[in-house]
Amino acid sequence: MFERYAIDSFKRFGEGGYGATFAAKDRKSGENLVVKVVDTRKMKLGLIVKECEFMDTCRGHENIIGLKNHGIGQGKHGHLYFIFMERAAGGELFDQLTTHNGAVPEALVRGFMLQLLAGVEHCHTRGVAHRDLKLENVLLDESGVVKVIDFGLSHQYGFDAAGNVDRSKPIEGFCGSKSYAAPEVLVGRGYDGFVADMWSLGVCMFGLLNGFFPVDEAKIADWRFEKLAKAQRARKSSVATILSWYKKDTRHLSPESVDLLDRLLLVEPAQRATMEDTLSHPWVTGQKAPTPDYYDDDKLHFRGGIGGMGQSEPFDMEIMDDAPVYRSLGGAMESDLDDGMPPAELPGMCRQDAFGGERSAIALDFDF
């Protein structure tokens, strides 16, 4: 297999905790590729192969990075696993924040999000919950086409006799990236991977439109999350609430974008917008947004519960003893949020490592 590919060890695109990505070329077709080289001493071989299986399951869609080939190295490279993929040289979606010096124009965000939604919907139809959707895991090719990458933390659902994705069994365990992970994930109880993906999509959209995260971490140790949950219980707009902490308002956003974000960033998983809801939303379809009705007591409802289990009780935000430790980015005091007081410190956005992987600390060696 490896005779077919040339790897440029001097052109490294990035490096993570257990591998690195290099430029590569298919000698047979002449196509420019990238190769993700993973050190099997730092990540179990079975997990690497599983990631490739997820990519293979989701291949065939223009908004999913294309898997070309993969396999274990030979000789002195026998501890390395090589994953050859299509090259997307337009940078990460996160880079758009730098390009635009903060918030990205809404028209551009809508174009990116429509493609991102299409890619994630494709994964969901194949039974795959991504579980680490973030701006760093979305690349652009030279034409600006979105490519979802990094399926290392994904979950594969089975299918029932009718061919429908079977989400009846909740997923257990912490997984994702801190500021993008859904609150039900951080609590550490069973959750629906598709519903958790929708929260992460909301964080991506909010971040692009505003230049900062809606919350530092969706758990009660973060004062922002406590305030957000309280506002939602009072039937207030999440977007307007978040911006008010920093003495900002929603005038730079369309009513349609505010409405969709309010639905995606609902703390209660069973109330959160589904993929079907989102794809039919006016911000996505280009129609005018209706008067919001989801904060109406008469219309507020659950969408079948986590994992289709018919849950009808409110989501419990109690923190577990073994939950990840919170470290605040903002450092605002409660008094900072009172009327007439200085605004809370505006948080920034930074690239984040995922949690939930199995790694060890040894030196990386990529001597090709």
d(CA 63, CA 118): 7
Rounded Cα distance between 261 and 239, Å, is 7
Asked whether 236 and 174 are in contact (CB, 8 A), the reply is no
The least confident of 148-162, 175-189, 294-308, 337-351 is 294-308
Q: If pLDDT is split at 50, 70 and 90, which confidence band does 292 have?
A: low
Q: CB under 8 Å to 116, separation ≥6 — which residues?
A: 63, 93, 133, 138, 146, 148, 201, 204
Query: Does 89 or 200 have the greater pLDDT score?
Result: 200
pLDDT tens profile 159-182: 999 999 999 999 998 888 899 999
pLDDT tens-digit map of 251-286:
999 999 999 999 999 999 999 999 999 999 999 999
Percent of the chain with pLDDT over 70: 81
Hey, which of 175-189, 228-242, 313-327 has the most confident mean pLDDT?
228-242
Alpha-carbon gap, residue 19 to 22, rounded angstroms? 10
* pLDDT in the model for residue 39: 93
Amino acid 65 reads I
If one compares 341 and 197, the residue with the highest pLDDT of the two is 197
Q: What is the DSSP letter of 83?
A: E
> How many Cβ atoms sit within 10 Å of the Cβ of residue 78?
10
Residue 279 to residues 58, 109, 139, Cα–Cα distance (Å): 19, 15, 21
Long-range pairs, 309-314, Cβ under 8 A, ≥24 = 309/168, 309/170, 311/270, 314/268
Write the DSSP string, 155-223: EE-EE-TTS-EE--SPB-S--EETTTS-HHHHHTS-B-HHHHHHHHHHHHHHHHHHSS-S-SSSSTTSH
Q: Quick one: pLDDT band at residue 3, thresholds 50, 70, 90?
A: confident
Secondary structure of 305-333 in the HEC alphabet? CHHHCCCCCCCCCCCCCCCCCCCCCCCCC
Note if 39 is an active site residue.
no
- Distance (Å, whole) CA 353 – CA 295: 34
- Arithmetic mean of pLDDT over the chain: 84
118-137 pLDDT, tens digit each:
999 999 999 999 999 999 99
Q: Which domains does the chain have, with CATH numbers?
A: 2-86 (3.30.200.20), 95-355 (1.10.510.10)
How far apart CA 187 and CA 192 sit, in angstroms, is 13
Per-residue pLDDT, 139: 96
Number of alpha carbons in the 13 Å side-chain half-sphere of residue 313: 2
Residue 10: per-residue pLDDT: 81
Reduced to 3 states, what is the DSSP secondary structure of residue 297? coil
The residue ranking higher by pLDDT, 340 or 80, is 80
Task: Label residue 346 left, alpha or beta by phi (over 0 means left) and psi (-120 to 50 means alpha).
Answer: beta
**315 pLDDT tier (thresholds 50, 70, 90):** very low
- Using the CB atoms, write b or e for 273-288: b if 16+ within 10 Å: bbbebbeebbbbeeee
**Torsion angle of the four alpha carbons 240, 246, 251, 253, in this order, in degrees rounded to the nearest 10:** -70
Q: Residue 109 has what pLDDT?
A: 98
| 232: confidence class by pLDDT, cuts 50, 70, 90 | very high
Catalytic residue among 132, 192, 222, 259: 132
pLDDT tens, position by position, 330-368: 333 333 344 444 567 777 788 887 777 554 333 445 555
234, 300, 343 from 227: Cα distances, Å: 11, 20, 14
